[in-house]
Amino acid sequence: MITPTTAPRLLYDRKEAARQISISVRSLDYMIAGKKIAIQRIGSRVLVPHAELVRVATTAQVKSVV
């Protein structure tokens, strides 16, 4: 049985979304502006779907620092 505390939320605000994928809100804003992450707007709120966070986290390219 899935309880509300174990099921992922469907939508996250910008701060929560950034925390979920371990980046800053500013970096998330750049990704949103660059159309690298899809959002949903409800009124003036900018919300990021959970599935989009999973997609970004699993397809993120790692930049090597040499």
* pLDDT by 10s per residue, the chain, length 66: 555 566 778 999 999 999 999 999 999 999 999 999 999 999 999 999 999 999 999 987 666 565
Q: What pLDDT score does 7 carry?
A: 72
Predicted local confidence at residue 51, as pLDDT = 95
In angstroms, the CA 3 to CA 30 distance is 34
Number of other CB atoms surrounding residue 24 within 10 Å: 11
Total-model pTM? 0.78
**pLDDT of amino acid 8:** 79
Contact 56, 21 (CB under 8 A): yes
**Backbone torsion region of residue 22, taken as left when φ is above 0, otherwise alpha when ψ lies between -120 and 50, otherwise beta:** left
